[in-house]
Chains A and B, each alone.
Chain A
Amino acid sequence: MIDAHHHVWKLSRADYGWIGDGRNPAVAPIEHDYLVEDYRSLAAENGVIGSIVVQAAQTVAETNWLLDQAHASGGLIKGVVGWIDMTAPNAADVLHGLARDRLLRGIRPMLQDIADVEWVLQPSLTPALRAIMELDLSFDLLVRPSHLKAALALLNRHPDLRAIVDHGGKPDIANGMWQPWADDIRRIARETQAHCKLSGLATEARPGWKPDDLRRYAEHLIECFGAERLLWGSDWPVMLLNADYAGWLAAAKQFVASQSAADQQAIMNDNAIRFYRLPVSSP
């Protein structure tokens, strides 16, 4: 199994912004270091043999740190989704430099924290987006439901951008939100080649959630994206705010249980290998 989305962080690095300075009570329960060795034991217990680690700070320094962590992980971390300043005039050069490291597999701006929901549509991002496409990297869309229409517009503008919607687009499950999330997700799936992560749903649910609270949302993602374009991820350690690793994995397995074994294998393993272009030698 491959975990297509998790983080590691060391708070003394002090460039996270949203965590580490004690000022964000919402993340207090996870406000300490989570390192590769912590992840390794969880992965082993849960049958995860490879992972994609995703940026948590808006700095190139963190991306370089994640690449170092991945190289030192003994093969556990198979790829890094990093960050660059996509608006910078030299964004493409920075990206070409970072991508010399084969473990860099994608880029993720933290759209959910940007007030302007159409930020991603500004023309100054185009050189960076072109570079992402040229380098065959992924573009991770960390969005809330309010960003989905802009995401759709972006993907229609750049049909060759290999994009993936993180955490199912973060529907507000705790408050029973359905529309416009459901229709916007359906349009993205139908009109573009975007992929989507089956991850992070528990974080959006009420404390003490049961799998049935998430089921409708998960099944909508499965129906829209199909077994070809859905990737399971844990979103550890953020997921610890409202779940434990094994609990979320068990719930996700329940949601995909109606799919054929081959399709389950695709969602839990194969799609991550393909989507993130994990290097494989001759079979």
Chain B
Amino acid sequence: MELDRKSLGRSNLKLSVLGFGGTGLGNMYVAMSERSVIDTLSAAYAAGMRYYDTAPLYGHGLSELRLGGGLRLFADPAVIVSSKVGWRLRPAFGKPTEAGLFRDITAFARFNDYSYDGAMRSFEDSLQRLGTDRIDVLLIHDVDHRNQGDRFADVFAQAMAGAYKALLSLREQGVVKAIGCGLNEWEACQAFAEAGDFDCFLLAGRYTLLEQESLQSFLPLCEKRGIGIILGGPYNSGILATGAVTDAWFNYAPAPADVLAKVAAIEKICDAHGVALKAAALQFPLHHPCVASVIPGTSNAVELHENLRMLNAPIPRDFWRDLKSAGLMDAQAPTP
């Protein structure tokens, strides 16, 4: 099977428009069995997915280890892989088997390290876990307010003085092809875009059917500079997949009332046009010229096939027009 490809900004990388989000391989929310890991990765490759994102944080190395198994299975040098620096791992010596949103993790504990040497070591550790000599895209992970809180400004300065320099050096040597950041906030992405020479950003959830604030300044800046966007969390942690049900999730937590109300309003317009909410959520970000790939987290082959179906579901032009005229979508948002 073939999936469309889009260029990641001005880099030479062409990502499949549907990429593989690696949080699930790290047992985020649910623990995947090893059999399911292989089934899911095989199904993804068979479906034409040629871009896979992972990070040391996800399951504290588990996602990279499992993706490494998949890469050996694919044996395809054309597969594009991104991983991240900023969270490093150390042996935990009997400490927790669970952490944050991740279950049944490795015997490693995580800690932040945005130094130059830390980024270099992290990169080498990732190569070892993946069992590969090639990571195409390397991203600075989680320098945002959600993860750094009051220390954001300090950590930002550390990352620019340390990890960023390491990424520049790796790109200059041709060891990685593109560098960027993987963050939960467009504001933090913009701060990095203004401070350095980045090829791309992996933005989680901040340019979706539900929210387009990033259209104000960040995405125009990316367009001007030829910066590519990989869009994580296209379902905003679930609510754009489930709809406004009472136990819907938004931003890694139960959805608050205002978000539920907005999604319910979007769903009415979906119903009027016979459009599945999930299809609209998955396709919307890809209409922006900067967005090269959407990468929903994938925990099993059923979800994966559902995503593929949603990617290809026809959506009438009037649907987008109605969302805009109802004030549920930024009128500037690129749509067919």
Chain A residues near B (Cβ < 8 Å): 1-2, 49-50, 74-75, 78, 190, 193, 226-229, 260-262, 264-266, 269-271, 273-275, 278-283
Contacts and interface: CB of A to CB of B under 8 A. Distances in A.
B101 A282 contact: no
25 contacts: A49-B253, A75-B254, A260-B112, A260-B151, A261-B145, A261-B146, A261-B147, A261-B148, A261-B151, A262-B142, A262-B147, A266-B100, A270-B101, A270-B252, A274-B102, A274-B103, A278-B254, A280-B29, A280-B30, A280-B237, A281-B238, A281-B241, A282-B238, A282-B296, A283-B232
A215 B242 CA distance: 41
B200 interface: no
A49 B256 contact: yes
B246 interface: yes
A226 B96 contact: yes
Contacts, number: 107
Residue from the set B98, B112, B232 with the largest chain A CB neighbour count within 10 Å: B98
Contact of B238 (A227, A265, A283): A283
Interface in B236-275: 237-238, 241-242, 245-249, 252-256
A228 B237 CA distance: 21
Given A261-B146, A280-B30, 6 more contacts: A266-B100, A274-B29, A274-B98, A281-B238, A282-B296, A283-B297
Contacts of A50: 253-254
Contact of B299 (A228, A275, A282): A282
B29 A75 contact: no
A275 B98 contact: yes
Contacts of A2: 253-254
Given A261-B146, A282-B303, A273 B101 contact: yes
Contact of B100 (A1, A190, A274): A274
Residue from the set A1, A49, A193, A229 with the largest chain B CB neighbour count within 10 Å: A49
Contacts of B99: 227-228, 266
A228 B98 contact: yes
A88 B142 CA distance: 50
A18 B299 CA distance: 45
A228 B100 contact: yes
B100 A271 contact: yes
B141 to A, nearest CB: 11
A261 B112 CA distance: 11
